[in-house]
Structure 1
């Protein structure tokens, strides 16, 4: 039997000592993906609406058409969800890392200003969503 290519063993029975500062036993990193405005949408020059990353079961692309339900999910995230989390995390004084899609951040300057004002780290989550699955290596470069 050939070896299965995925590793499920991990560290095995003897996990390494992480040696956290001051003997801490756990480290928590809060990361918020900020993608609202980076999804596929004909308003962004895409051929179709978003269909992959969605709460809509069985979502399918609608070539050449806006998908109002899909857009409303992403709009809610920027208009309400972000601000709810911002109030929660800043109210507790918790640092946050934002994994931001660059086109989403560019379309939402008020939220970016709030992230910066809170001292949150903003990390790149790419320019926009691109399906690299079958992309030729030359195009990806």
Structure 2
């Protein structure tokens, strides 16, 4: 089978921005949006890349492409790309140069109401098993 293998780009965003931009802080929500996008097209989500301000030519971005494990990149939206990368235009140019597609799932995360924000807060503050506080 010739599956298209997708790398989902999610942005790491400071927690201080949770109330003003909860979707940018919610990496799980970003990943889920990318997974749905890939699934709707019959693609396989092969990688999840979590970055904040990475250079478009950084080796970590391209390792899976160069090894043949990833065929295209997807991010939930342009705002996620803008947080994850130092330059979206330069990344688009690098993708074009390397012949790798870059897509966005078109999910803006605007449906975040108080309950959704609270759910993200809960996920981010879940206790770690075995953590003794010290």
Please give the range of the TM-score, normalised by the shorter of the 2 chains.
0.3 to 0.5
TM-score normalised over the length of structure 2: 0.42
Which has more strand, going by share of residues?
A: 2
TM-score normalised over the length of structure 1: 0.40
Which structure ranks higher in relative contact order (CA pairs < 8 Å, sequence separation ≥ 6)? Answer: 2
Larger Rg: 1
